[in-house]
Structure 1
Amino acid sequence: MDIYYWVIFFATVLGVSLIPGPSTLIAFTHGATYGWSRSAYTAFGNSTASVLQASAASAGLGVIITSSALMFAAIKYAGAAYLIYVGIQMWHSAARPVSLASQDRHHGRLSRKLFSGGFTVAISNPKAIAFFTALFPQFMSADGNSWAQLSMMIVLVGLGAFLVAMIYGCLGAWVRGLELSKSLMSRIYKTTGGLFVASGFGLAASRNG
């Protein structure tokens, strides 16, 4: 496939990923809480989930999931429940004193927590697999090796997911660097938590497919 189409594909992935959603919200929150360098673990988690979803779409699982109403609904409602849970946890954390200082204790445990948060929020959206299933054929060329093209697309999806999550993580770190009052930071937590809850209910209420 010509480099021109690869650029368009990557721009499409970036454009869709930049739209605010649960994955970008959690990257922003982790950046605001722990700083941009720690939010890289969140970005890795997000990227890993995106690569798995893109791989599932390439393997044909996207067709199976989207054609099975029961399977799609199970994944959708599980993801919605998790988003609501994250939102409630974030809302509760705003009620506790918000520390603006760097948190260096238990680095390994924190890294796993951030990675897990980014991964779980991203993987909880079954519509990502459906999106990749619909997107990939639009950019595949009959002239080239289909597996090589799909592999390249998966790599670009992972790279795009990581870059976008880091952008939001750095944005959150910038907000943190403004040294806002703890009360204002608590409001940010509550607002973000509310958006997670709204996303969860929105996902649950959305139609299949």
Structure 2
Amino acid sequence: MTLHVWLGFLVAAILIAVTPGPGAVLSMSTGLRYGYGSALTAILGLQAAILTHLTIVALGLGALLAASEWAFSVVKFIGAAYLLWLGIQKWRVPVIPADAEPLPVRNGGLFVQGMLVNLTNPKAVVFIGALVPQFIDPVAGYPLQYAEIAATLCGTDIVVMSFYALAAVRLADWLHNPKMIRWQNRIFGGLFVTAGGLLAASSKPV
């Protein structure tokens, strides 16, 4: 991949990452509740899903998902249901001030949660499937090009999601007031539910 082509892909990757979505909501809510360290675990889960999406595209399965309305709808509604479930769980989380004994958190669970949030979004596979081939040189080596693309997508997304998480950490004073805790739980719960509803109502990109 030439420098000119890579810079074009980098711009596209940045635009994809900064567009608010379920990953940004997860990064902010986890950072706000548990701190950046735990948020980073969830962010790495998001990257595992991106790598899975790239593998799907590289194997040609992304084209199948893009062409099949039925397959797209199945994955779409699974993803929407998962986001709705996350929203309900966030709405119901206990109100515990930040200076109280923290809720137990399993980093492995946060990693899986991050992975599932991205993995169950079929539009991500279709979008990557439409974007990535435009930057692939068919006469060059595929493994190296996909490695460059994976590093660019994941590196960019980690930086942007970390920014979202650290911005939320700056709002940690919310967690010293039970009323504010309740409101932030409901705000993020509502955002997850909204994201799930938008995903369920979305149509397959053309």
* CA displacement, residues 41-76 of structure 1 (integer Å, 9 cap, x when unaligned): 011101111111122112111101111221111100
> In 2, Cα distance between the equivalents of 1:208 and 1:135?
15
Counterpart of 1:163 in structure 2 is 159
> In 2, Cα distance between the equivalents of 1:181 and 1:5?
50
Counterpart of 1:141 in structure 2 is 137
The match for 1:100 among 80, 98, 101 is 98
Q: Match of 2:121, as an amino acid?
A: N
Contact kept, 8 Å, 2:95 with 2:181, in 1: the verdict is: no
> In 2, Cα distance between the equivalents of 1:135 and 1:197?
28
Counterpart of 1:176 in structure 2 is 172
> In 1, Cα distance between the equivalents of 2:134 and 2:100?
45
Q: Match of 1:121, as an amino acid?
A: V
Shift of 1:104: 6.8
Q: CA RMSD in A?
A: 2.0
Counterpart of 1:3 in structure 2 is 3
Counterpart of 1:86 in structure 2 is 86
Counterpart of 1:126 in structure 2 is 122
- State how 1:9-158 maps to structure 2 within 5 Å: 9-93=9-93, 96-101=94-99, 110-158=106-154
The match for 1:187 among 175, 183, 189 is 183
> In 1, Cα distance between the equivalents of 2:81 and 2:203?
16
Identity, % of aligned positions = 26
* CA displacement, residues 20-59 of structure 1 (integer Å, 9 cap, x when unaligned): 1111101100000011122110111011111111221121
Name structure 1 gaps, 5 residues minimum: none
> In 2, Cα distance between the equivalents of 1:45 and 1:142?
30
Shift of 1:197: 0.7
Shift of 1:97: 1.7
> In 2, Cα distance between the equivalents of 1:164 and 1:193?
21
Contact kept, 8 Å, 1:42 with 1:114, in 2: the verdict is: yes
- The structure-2 alpha-carbon separation of the partners of 1:17 and 1:102, relative to structure 1 and needing over 3 Å to count, comes to farther
- Which 4+ runs in 1 deviate beyond 3 A? 101-106, 177-180
Contact kept, 8 Å, 1:80 with 1:200, in 2: the verdict is: yes
- The structure-2 alpha-carbon separation of the partners of 1:17 and 1:30, relative to structure 1 and needing over 3 Å to count, comes to same
Name structure 2 gaps, 5 residues minimum: none
Q: Match of 1:97, as an amino acid?
A: V
| TM-score normalised to structure 1 length | 0.89
Shift of 1:143: 4.9
Q: How many residues align?
A: 205
Please state whether the residue corresponding to 2:106 is helix, strand or coil: helix
